[in-house]
Amino acid sequence: MQLKSVLLLLSGIMLVQFSMGQQRVTRRGSQPGNAPGKQYDPLFRLEQFQGRWQEVKRTTSKSKESVPFTDTLLLKFERDKVEIKDAISMRVSMRGTAQMEAPNFLIAAGDEFMVKYADTQKIVLDDGEYLKELHKTKLFYYETFGKETVVADTLNSPVKVEQKNLWGKWTIYRRQALAGSVSEEAVVIKSIEVFPGDVTGSAEGEVIFYKTDITESAPCKIIFGDNNILVITEMHTWEFSTYKADGKEFVFGEKGRLVYYAKKL
């Protein structure tokens, strides 16, 4: 009887060992039986972001309401490196590597953004709280503003412009100012959009501007004169002479003080 009990015990041990030997061996931390998921390529490439990008508009991620801001986002990409500048102090706040992760995430010096839109001239980044619209630029505005001078005879006399030649959105790519002629408190235009219409002599539009690094956008009314335009918002009014408007480039401003050079997006 005792021998029979011993034999039954040994048989049970052998069955347990055999059963354990039939189980799949897995790496620690992995789930048995789960095949690895399919890997997808990112929707955007890092090559699309090369160069300088300057924030021109900010809206809330949820309500899409436009909000004023002082911490203008400035990004400069060089291959797989990126600099993130603080537009208030104009110093480099972060410098590091840049990479894209599927499906549409941009990792820039440790910060993560969701890329909502990207083309050759505009990107829209979502940081979880705000949608930040950035436009590509050859130089950041602080790199040229107030450093170039306008020679009096470099511009022709003001000319009358055709309204239809101004339809669309114009982004400032260059500013010229006589040294000391523009104060730090001046309201400076970043872009202006003229909506198509059939009213002779005036049009509706939108203007994006900044003052002491606070960027805002506002609806505006544009009045066309003989060789000038009047841009009117609820808070500000500008009168500009018009020097060129051929449908591709728009040059306007105050000769001898501040002149804007704009191209259509």
> What pLDDT does residue 72 have?
80
> What pLDDT does residue 10 have?
46
> What pLDDT does residue 157 have?
86
In order of their start, the domains of the chain are: 47-142 (2.40.128.280), 147-264 (2.40.128.20)
Q: How far, CA to CA in Å, does 152 sit from each of 53, 89, 259?
A: 31, 33, 11
Which residue carries 């040059």 as its tokens? 251
- 71 burial class (0-12, 13-18, 19+ CB within 10 angstroms)? middle
| Continuous H helices in the chain | 2-22, 141-144
> What pLDDT does residue 206 have?
95
Backbone angles phi, psi at 154, to 5 degrees: -80, -15
Q: Which of 241, 72, 216 is nearest to 150 (CA)?
A: 241
> What pLDDT does residue 154 have?
53
Q: How far is the first Cα of the chain from the last one, in angstroms, to the nearest whole number?
A: 96
> What pLDDT does residue 182 have?
64
> What pLDDT does residue 24 have?
33
DSSP one-letter string for 88-136: TTTEEEEEEEEEEETTTEEEETTEEEEEEEE-SSEEEEE-SSEEEEEEE
Q: Which of 47, 40, 60 is nearest to 106 (CA)?
A: 47
> What pLDDT does residue 17 have?
44
Residue-level pLDDT, tens digit, the chain, 265 residues: 554 454 444 455 444 443 443 333 332 333 334 444 556 788 999 999 999 998 888 899 988 888 877 678 889 999 999 988 865 554 456 788 999 999 999 999 888 999 999 999 999 999 999 999 999 988 776 665 544 443 433 567 899 989 999 999 999 888 887 655 666 667 888 899 999 988 889 999 999 988 766 788 899 999 999 899 999 999 889 999 999 999 899 999 987 778 899 998 6
> What pLDDT does residue 183 have?
65
Handedness of CA 123, 127, 131, 133 (dihedral sign): negative
Contact 134, 54 (CB under 8 A): yes
Region of 80 (left: φ > 0; alpha: ψ -120 to 50; beta: rest) is alpha
